[in-house]
Structure 1
Amino acid sequence: MSSDASPAPAKTPVTLREVAASAGVSVATASKALNGQGRMTAETRERIRETAQRLGFRPNSLAQSLLRRRSFTVGLLTNDTYGRFSLPLMSGVSDALVDAGVSVFLCNVEDDMRLAQLHVEAMLDKRVDGIIATGKRIDRHLPVDLANLRIPVIYAFTQPDPDAVGFESDDAGGARLAVEHFCRLGRKRIAHVTGPASFAVVHERARAYREVLAEHGLPVAEPLLGAWSEAWGHEAVGKLFDRRAGRAEAPDAVFCGNDQIARGVIDALRERGIGVPDDVGVIGFDNWEIVAEATRPPLTSVDMNLSALGREAGLALLSLVGGQAAAPGIRKLPCRLVVRQSCGRPPDG
């Protein structure tokens, strides 16, 4: 055998989910059996233990430290009434916690301080092991004080308390992905149509937009600010393509602050007989698939990776409950660009 032979790849550790599936029980039942907890027959408990031994399952030490609290639950608080951001985030949280046999309970607090406090008190009464706070925007705090609870709290996609741990998407990095992609495609006159000035992300993305254009030596136009709606996207096209507005040349690309604006932009361009992407490329933000994939042509969009963000928040909560310290502050997670047909191909095809 040659001395430079590659080593065999390491085996992936067996998860609690695999033990539960092989034993024909739920993840929670498997977890309780292996931790000497819960009410079940001796035969069931022994079958689960034998299955774990046969598969070579080794319990995660952080998960065990969490399970010793015996509630097997985590609370997820949100004021995102429609679930646009909280549901994909919750999916990631659940994925991070399921192998510890922990369930996630979602409570919608809307923007009601009294309702939020009632939900928090109910969670404490149920002895949840921790709380993840999330919302519909990253620059607003939920209408409840979570700073002095006796359990760990993680913030994800909402403004954290001072000295707390928070996770949010890198909006400026996401904007860079979009504008740099347009530059690679050979677009020279890139406009930016976005949401209200009261949102912090509007300014973060606009700053990144200006920086990328300046780096490429391209003309920088002031972003058009309006509502997060298709109607505003439709109206903005009139402002961009009206010759009386004093623009020497119309844009050949439009970077939009969300997918609804982008859809309005594309509809308005079609009504004017302007081809997308042949004449004008369009990129949105959020990658709301129900909108992006149904747009004609399908919409290229920046995805904030909310499921991954939720998973990181869940793992951070496991770590805190397990007794590990975490430095306070906000962790920014990268976005990704999902390329579809609305932005066109590079000049070389």
Structure 2
Amino acid sequence: MTASLSDIAIRAGVSVKTVSGALHGGSARMSEETRQRIKEIAEELGYVTNFAARSMRQGWMPLVGLVADDLITSPFATEIIRGLDGAVRAADMAVFAMTLGGHRSIASILDEMRRFRPRAIAYAAMYHKSVDLPPEFADAVGVMINCRDANDRVTSLVPDETGAALEITNYLIDAGRRNIAFINLPGLLAGELRELGFRRALDQAGIDGAGAIVLPAVSKAIYSDRAHSLVATHVQALMNGPRRPDAILCGNDRVAMEVYAALRREGAAIPDDVAIASFDNQVEIASRLDPPLTTMALPHRAMGRQAAQILLAEDRAPVGVQKLPFQLVERASV
């Protein structure tokens, strides 16, 4: 037989409600000294939380469900899971994920997930996009991470793409670069919003933003790292054309890696001849390029942490899109 909450309460000289609050994050108010003493007694008596009984009382298990829209396959977007898991663990709960893909619909995933009676459910995507949740499931999802509900019914946490492009373009301008080309990601919401910030920064600096050079990184209408790349062709044309750039902004670090190689074939030095800047901060790429790449780090971990705060709060967060800032990572390419 394991120790019960009553056993701990008798030993500590407090109520069962106070013990539950100390061990399970309940609403009972107590001093930190009392909380720590209760935890020590629980450990001494070998207390183990009866999750089934707790679920019957509360109506939910100490779990946060995560619908992972291709998220687990992305090496750097997993920072979302790290941020979410760390914050949820601090509340004595756990995250479990189900991957959306193949023939599994959003509706079937949410139906399956709700059988586990989680405290809350989040939906996270590998890249910033709009998601059309089935109307009957909009209330089931507490927060969307790295994506937004197409009908604005769910609180959504997304990267501030436009703000990031504005910041990194201003950084290039402040470094004395005036003829900046942008090799962007076609067909993606992130690319569209980044182009907006790029052109806005040029306009604000007195450069013709409308006439800026913006080129697609791939031949397909929607960017994929498996699509036929146009980067080398673009760089060759730029370096031999009438508007030779003194900086190239890249849609992501993979594109930047291709730009590095293409510039070297043209005999151009980085950053002396052409400065390079990018987005994402895929460290395995950005830190290993020569010279290391200046880039904007996505706020993935911060989105995960903030999502946990929203999901575990007593009151439901106001519906809307919250934009989280990128972080400029300065390296030697500018």
Q: TM-score range by the shorter chain?
A: 0.7 to 0.9
5+ residue gaps, structure 2, are 1-18, 27-34, 43-53
Return the match for 2:80 from 89, 106, 112. 89
2:25 touches 2:91 (CA, 8 Å); kept in 1? no
Alignment partner of 1:109 is 2:100: yes
Return the match for 1:307 from 278, 301, 307. 301
Identity of aligned residues (%): 26
Return the match for 1:77 from 63, 67, 86. 67
Distance in 2 (alpha carbons) for counterparts of 1:32 and 1:234? 61
Return the match for 1:291 from 262, 285, 289. 285
Alignment partner of 1:333 is 2:331: no
Aligned-residue offset at 1:128: 1.0
Runs of 4+ in 1 over 6 A off after TM superposition: 30-33
Distance in 1 (alpha carbons) for counterparts of 2:307 and 2:332? 33
Instruction: Describe the superposition over 1:21-43 as per-residue Cα deviations: whole angstroms up to 9, x where unpaired.
Output: xxxxxxxxx98972499xxxxxx
Return the match for 1:49 from 38, 52, 55. 38
Closer/same/farther in 2, CA of residues 182 and 147 from structure 1, 3 Å limit: farther
Alignment partner of 1:34 is 2:5: no
**TM-score (ref. length: structure 1):** 0.74
Closer/same/farther in 2, CA of residues 136 and 47 from structure 1, 3 Å limit: closer
Return the match for 2:231 from 225, 230, 233. 233
- SS at 1:207 equivalent: helix
Figure out how many residues of one structure are paired with residues of the other and give that number.
285
Instruction: Describe the superposition over 1:37-96 as per-residue Cα deviations: whole angstroms up to 9, x where unpaired.
Output: 9xxxxxxxx99715399xxxxxxxxxx99x944511111112225224541101111122
Amino acid corresponding to residue 177 of structure 1 in structure 2: E
Amino acid corresponding to residue 71 of structure 1 in structure 2: M
Matches within 5 A, 1:153-192: 153-160=142-149, 161-192=151-182
- SS at 2:127 equivalent: coil
1:165 touches 1:330 (CA, 8 Å); kept in 2? yes
Distance in 2 (alpha carbons) for counterparts of 1:177 and 1:149? 34
Return the match for 1:137 from 110, 127, 141. 127
Distance in 1 (alpha carbons) for counterparts of 2:65 and 2:216? 36
- SS at 2:232 equivalent: helix
Aligned-residue offset at 1:301: 0.6
Specify the alignment match of 2:259 in structure 1: 265
Alignment partner of 1:251 is 2:245: yes
Instruction: Describe the superposition over 1:167-205 as per-residue Cα deviations: whole angstroms up to 9, x where unpaired.
Output: 101000110111011011111111111111x21222211
Aligned-residue offset at 1:159: 2.5
Higher strand share goes to which structure?
A: 2
Closer/same/farther in 2, CA of residues 174 and 150 from structure 1, 3 Å limit: closer
- SS at 2:128 equivalent: coil
Closer/same/farther in 2, CA of residues 32 and 179 from structure 1, 3 Å limit: same
1:192 touches 1:256 (CA, 8 Å); kept in 2? yes
1:146 touches 1:153 (CA, 8 Å); kept in 2? no
Distance in 2 (alpha carbons) for counterparts of 1:210 and 1:171? 13
Instruction: Describe the superposition over 1:205-235 as per-residue Cα deviations: whole angstroms up to 9, x where unpaired.
Output: 1111111112112244231023354943323
1:256 touches 1:282 (CA, 8 Å); kept in 2? yes
Closer/same/farther in 2, CA of residues 212 and 127 from structure 1, 3 Å limit: same
**TM-score (ref. length: structure 2):** 0.77
- SS at 1:183 equivalent: helix
Aligned-residue offset at 1:290: 1.1
Specify the alignment match of 2:190 in structure 1: 201
Instruction: Describe the superposition over 1:297-344 as per-residue Cα deviations: whole angstroms up to 9, x where unpaired.
Output: 11111111110011111110111xx2x13211101111111011111x
Specify the alignment match of 1:24 in structure 2: none
Amino acid corresponding to residue 271 of structure 1 in structure 2: R
Amino acid corresponding to residue 205 of structure 1 in structure 2: R
1:74 touches 1:131 (CA, 8 Å); kept in 2? yes
